Structure 1
Amino acid sequence: MKTKRFCYACDLKSDAKLIAEYKAYHAAGKAWPEITKSIKDAGIIDMQIYLTGNRMFMIMEVDETFNSVKKAKMDANNPKVQEWENLMWKYQQELPWAKNGEKWILLEQIFQL
C-alpha cells in the first residue's frame, strides 16, 4: 500500500490555561471516538500533532483513498465533527496569513534528505 504524508500548521491562543485544556482533549484516548473514526474513515492511517509554544504542527500519513475535498465534505456533513471543530475554535486561532476561517494550513515541503 502506497502512503502519502501531509503536514499542516495551526496556532493555539497564547494562553497557558487554554493550551493545557487543548492538550487534555488530545491526550491518548481522550479524543472523541466519533472524531477518531471520521479520521480513519477518510483514509488517514496516522496523525500526530506536535506543539511548540502556541504553534502546532500536524503530520498525516494517508492511504490512496484519501482525498482532502472528500474529507472536507464528510466533515461538513458530520454533526459530531462540526461540534468538535466548533469546540476547538475556543483554543485555536488562524495563522496570520490564513484565509478567514482557515485553521490548519498545508505546509510546503522545501527539503528532503
Structure 2
Amino acid sequence: MTRTRHVLLLDLQDDPAAIAAYRHWHRPGGPPAAVSRAIRAEGITALEIWHVGDRLVMLMETTPEFDLAAKAVRDSADPDVQAWETLMDRFQRPLPFARDGQKWVEAERIYALADQPSCP
C-alpha cells in the first residue's frame, strides 16, 4: 500500500511546566481513546510527535485517500476531539507565520537523499 508522509510543525508555550504537562498528556495511554480512534479512522496509519525546546514536529503517514481538510471538518463536529483540542490549546502556540486559526503547519520537503545521484 502506498503511503504519504506529512511533516507538520507547531510550537509550545515557552514554559517548562506547560511543556512537561504537554508531554505527560502524550504519554502512552494519555490521549483519550476517542481521539486515537478518530485519528485511525481517517486513514492515518502512523503518527509520531517529536519535541525539542519549544518546537514540535509531527510525522504522519497516511493512506492515499487521506484528506486533511475533510478530517478537519469531521474533527470540528466531534465533541471528544474538540475537548482534546481545547485542552491542548493551553500548551500550544502557533508558528509566527501560521494563518489565523492554524495550529499545525505542514512543511515542504526540499531534499531527499534518494533523489541525489550516487557517488562513485
Q: State the TM-score, normalizing by the size of structure 2.
A: 0.92
RMSD: 0.7
Task: Give the distance between the partners of 1:108 and 1:82, measured in 2 at CA.
Answer: 27
Rg: which structure is higher?
A: 2
Cα displacement string for residues 62-109 of structure 1 (whole angstroms, at most 9, x for unaligned residues) = 012211111011101101101111110100001011112211000010
Task: Give the distance between the partners of 1:86 and 1:2, measured in 2 at CA.
Answer: 33
Which residue in 1 is equivalent to 2:117?
none
Aligned residues: 113
1:49 alignment partner, SS class: strand
Task: Give the distance between the partners of 1:10 and 1:80, measured in 2 at CA.
Answer: 21
Which residue in 2 is equivalent to 1:108?
108
Runs of 4+ in 1 over 4 A off after TM superposition: none
The residue type equivalent to 2:30 in the other structure is K
Task: Give the distance between the partners of 1:49 and 1:78, measured in 2 at CA.
Answer: 22
Cα displacement string for residues 28-64 of structure 1 (whole angstroms, at most 9, x for unaligned residues) = 1211101100000000000000001000000000012
Task: Give the distance between the partners of 2:94 and 2:10, measured in 1 at CA.
Answer: 7
1:10 alignment partner, SS class: strand
Share of identical aligned residues, percent? 35
2:70 alignment partner, SS class: helix
Please state if 1:93 is matched with 2:93. yes
- The runs of 5 or more residues in structure 2 that have no matched partner are 114-120
- The runs of 5 or more residues in structure 1 that have no matched partner are none
2:31 alignment partner, SS class: coil
Task: Give the distance between the partners of 2:80 and 2:45, measured in 1 at CA.
Answer: 20
Task: Give the distance between the partners of 2:53 and 2:89, measured in 1 at CA.
Answer: 17
Task: Give the distance between the partners of 2:101 and 2:71, measured in 1 at CA.
Answer: 17
